[in-house]
Amino acid sequence: MENKLRSIEADIQNGLKYKSADRLRNLINEHPNEQKLWNRLAELYYDSGFLDSAGKYWILTEPTDERIKKCVEIYEKSVNYSGYQILQEITFRGDKTKLSKYAQKKLAELESDSKEKTNHIPEFKPKVNKPKKQNKKYVQTFKDKLGGYVIFGIVAVIVVLIIIGFVSVIKWIF
């Protein structure tokens, strides 16, 4: 993960902010309990002027300064203070017990608001890091082979029809 973060930081320095934001979101999906990833993405959005998006990723961070409070407020206002909408958008798949007390309290408030207003709390399956699979040799199935044969057959028929057309035109001319 540290290598990926260094690569993302290099991309940010080179002006590749959109790519970096995508990569940070992917890292958050892989490591949802890593609050530093959420904060880094929020910082990236803040520096780029996307205050509502910064607030979305700072929502579980204790507002230690005015800019965090402002961004979270802008984000909450943009979703009409809907706990359900916020839970849908942040899709937290981590272990809630590993979060800070503030984040646990904030998630509980959002869930309570969602339950109260929509009678539903969105649930997301926790992200379980699966061991990476070994590269398996690709085995071509009958279906794969059949697709190739069909394409070859169509091309062959087209070629034959073109040849017949040329022969017919030549016979007609002479």
Q: Are 103 and 86 in contact (CB under 8 A)?
A: no
CATH of domain 2-118: 1.25.40
pLDDT the model gives residue 95: 83
pLDDT of residue 88: 86
pLDDT-derived band of residue 154, with 50, 70 and 90 as boundaries?
very high
pLDDT 10s digits, 68-77: 999 999 999 9
Supply the pLDDT for residue 94: 82
pLDDT band for position 129 (cuts 50, 70, 90): low
pLDDT at residue 52 tops 90:
yes
> What pLDDT digit, counting tens, does each position of 12-49 carry?
999 999 999 999 999 988 888 888 999 999 999 999 99
- Exposure string of 155-170, with b = 16+ CB inside 10 Å and e = fewer, is eeeeeeeeeeeeeeee
Q: Which pLDDT does position 19 carry in this prediction?
A: 92
Segment 111-125, tens digit of pLDDT: 898 888 888 787 776
The mean pLDDT of the chain is 86
pTM of the entire predicted model: 0.66
Give the residue from 9, 19, 27, 21 showing the smallest Cα distance to 50: 21
**% of residues, the chain, pLDDT over 70:** 91
